[in-house]
């Protein structure tokens, strides 16, 4: 089965947000870079997706729509999106189908936002998904009731709601093992 790696929103824009934190950054970059290197070695296309807004750090004018420093910048194809799902108005589903790609490996920033939304949407339109949560990054979030959810809790919740419904939850190692078998 043909597959591709999606690297979602791994861009400098995030460093310029109020919620940016580096607590999990080293762990995340190590996982993300291993995944990209493994995909490249196995001949699996890497698609880099950038989020673009009209203003702020996600705008073209900001100069921040570039790969996050420290991340492997390799890409076989690049798209820009303007909503949470990389499947909306990007031409990505058509690009994937034209190449016979049926399985997507999801990674990137933010775990519970663009990565999860793209996963749900891609699953709903017929793609099989390997969601590599350790190769996703997010930041603590405060609920309206005042409770702060840690990145580990957000990642766990995302795995819970995606597993078996929208995606297969994978580790970097399990994906790399699969890539080496199919290469």
CATH code, domain carrying 9: 3.40.50.850
Number of domains in the chain: 1
Q: Smallest Cα–Cα separation from 92: which of 11, 172, 6, 3? A: 6
Rounded Cα gap, residues 41 and 64, in angstroms: 28
Edge-to-edge strand order for the sheet containing 168-169? 77-81, 46-51, 2-8, 101-109, 128-137, 168-169
- pLDDT tens digits for the chain (183 residues)? 699 999 999 999 999 999 999 999 999 999 999 999 999 999 999 999 999 999 999 999 999 999 999 999 999 999 999 999 999 999 999 999 999 999 999 999 999 999 999 999 999 999 999 999 999 999 999 999 999 999 999 999 999 999 999 999 999 999 999 987 665
Q: Is the pTM of this model over 0.95?
A: yes
Residue 67 is given by DSSP the state B
CA atoms in the 13 A half-sphere facing the CB of 10 = 30
Rounded Cα gap, residues 115 and 108, in angstroms: 6
Which range marks the domain in which residue 70 is found? 2-181
């Amino acid at each position: 089965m043909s597959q591709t790696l999606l690297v979602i929103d791994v861009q400098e824009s995030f460093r310029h947000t109020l919620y940016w934190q580096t607590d999990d950054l080293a762990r995340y970059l190590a996982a993300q870079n291993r995944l990209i290197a493994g995909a490249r070695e196995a001949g699996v296309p890497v698609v880099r997706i950038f989020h673009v807004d009209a203003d702020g750090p996600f705008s073209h004018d900001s100069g921040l729509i570039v790969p996050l420093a420290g991340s492997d910048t390799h890409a076989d194809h690049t798209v820009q999106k303007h909503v949470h799902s990389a499947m909306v108005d990007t031409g990505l589903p058509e690009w994937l189908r034209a190449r016979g790609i049926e399985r997507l490996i999801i990674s990137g920033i933010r775990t519970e936002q663009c990565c999860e939304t793209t996963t749900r949407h891609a699953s709903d339109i017929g793609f099989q998904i390997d969601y590599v949560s350790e190769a996703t990054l997010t930041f603590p979030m405060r609920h309206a009731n005042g409770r702060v959810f840690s990145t580990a809790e957000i990642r766990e919740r995302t795995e819970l709601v995606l597993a078996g419904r929208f995606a297969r939850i994978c580790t970097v190692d399990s994906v790399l093992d699969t890539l080496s078998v199919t290469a």
